[in-house]
Amino acid sequence: MADIRKSLSPGRIIYPILIGLGAASWMLYRNFDPEAFSFFNWTAASFFWLGIALLMMGVRDLAYMYRVKVLTDGELSWRQAFDVIMLWEFSSAISPSVVGGTGPAIFMLYKEGINSGKSTAVILTAIFLDEVFFIVTIPLLYLVFGNHIFPPEGVNYAQSLRVALFIGYGVILLYTLALAYTLFFNPYFFKWLLSFIFLLPFLRRFRMRARKLSNQLIITSYALKGKTFKYWGKAFMATVISWTGRYWVVNFMFMAFFFSELNLFDHLLIYARQLTMWIILLVSPTPGGSGVAEFIFSDFLGDLIPNIVWAVPLALLWRLITYYPYLFIGVFLIPGWVKKVFPPAPKYKVIK
C-alpha cells in the first residue's frame, strides 16, 4: 500500500516536466531560428481546430472510460471510471513508459470495489487489447503506405530508428502472442516460461515479480472464460476509438496552423507515422516518454511540416495537449480519491 501511495505522489510530476522542457529547450537552443514561432497565427480558424484537437483527447478518455465499464461488466459508475482512467494516466505519466502504470491501475480498481482477481483481469485485458490494436494496425498501414510509415531517409539516425521499430514491433508481437496463448489456451504456459527465463543469474532478483505476474495471468485467464463476442467487440471498438482520438490530435493541430498545406494522403500518413512513433515511446526509459517524445516528433513528422524549424514548438504544443493535462488532473484528483478510499480510522473515547 505504501508503494502504491509513493508511486502516485504528486511531487513526482516535477521530473517529467523538467525532462520534457529541458529536451525542448536544448533542441531550440541547438537549432535556434527566429522563425521558429512564426507559424502561430491566432485566428478564429486556428482556435477552432485546436478546440477540435482538445476534443479528440476528450473522445479518447471517454472511450477508455467506456472500455473499463465494459471490462468490469458495468460494476463501475461513470464517475468511478473517470477517476480510474485519470489516475491510471497520471501513474503512467510519472512512470517510465517501459514500466507503465499497471500495478497502480489494478490497485485503483480494487479500491473502487472490484475484487482483486477481477481487477487484475480487467487491467491485463485492457493492455492486451491495446497491444492487439498495434500489431494488427501497423501491418495494414504498411500495406497502404509502404516505407512511408517510417521516418524519411534524410532524418538523422533514420536507419537506427527503423531497426528499433522492427525490434520493438517484434517484441510486442511475441509478447502479445504469448499472452494470447496464455489467456485463451494454456494459462500455465507463461508461468513455466517466466520461471525458466528468470533462472538466469542476472534476472533472479526479479523472479518473485515474474511469479506474481504469471499468477495474475492465470487469474485473468479464468476470468475471461465464457466472455461473449459482444463483450470483445465493444471493448475492442472502444480501444480503436481511444487510440484514433489520441492520434487525430496532431492532424487537427496541424490544420490549425497550415490547413491548406496538407491533403488527405498527408493526414492518413500522419496517423500512420504516429503508430510507428508510439512503439519508440512504449519502450522509453523516461517518465511518460518525456524528452524522447519531443525529440522523435520532428524525426517522424518533420517532412510533413512546411518549415522544419516549426517542429519543436509544435512538439511542445502536442505534449501540452496530450500529456501535461494528465499530470495536473492527477494532482487535483489524488487528495480527494485517497480520502475516499482510505477513510480515517474511527476515533474512540477513552472511558475512565
Q: What mean pLDDT is predicted for residues 324-331?
A: 84
Domain regions of the chain by residue span: 2-341
What is the reported pLDDT for 129?
94
Give the helix ranges, DSSP H, for 185-263.
Answer: 189-197, 207-224, 229-258
Query: Predicted confidence band at 21 (pLDDT cuts at 50, 70, 90)?
Result: low
Tens digits of per-residue pLDDT, 226-274?
A: 888 999 999 999 999 999 999 999 999 999 888 777 888 888 999 999 9
Lowest-pLDDT range of 89-93, 103-107, 253-257, 340-344: 340-344
The answer to whether the beta carbons of residues 184 and 224 sit under 8 Å apart is yes
**Rounded CA separation 14/8 (Å):** 13
183 C-beta neighbours (distance < 10 Å), count = 23
User: How far is residue 274 from each of residues 155, 277, 301, measured CA to CA in Å?
Assistant: 16, 5, 8
Going by pLDDT thresholds of 50, 70 and 90, the confidence category of residue 130 is very high
pLDDT in tens, 294-311: 778 888 888 888 777 777
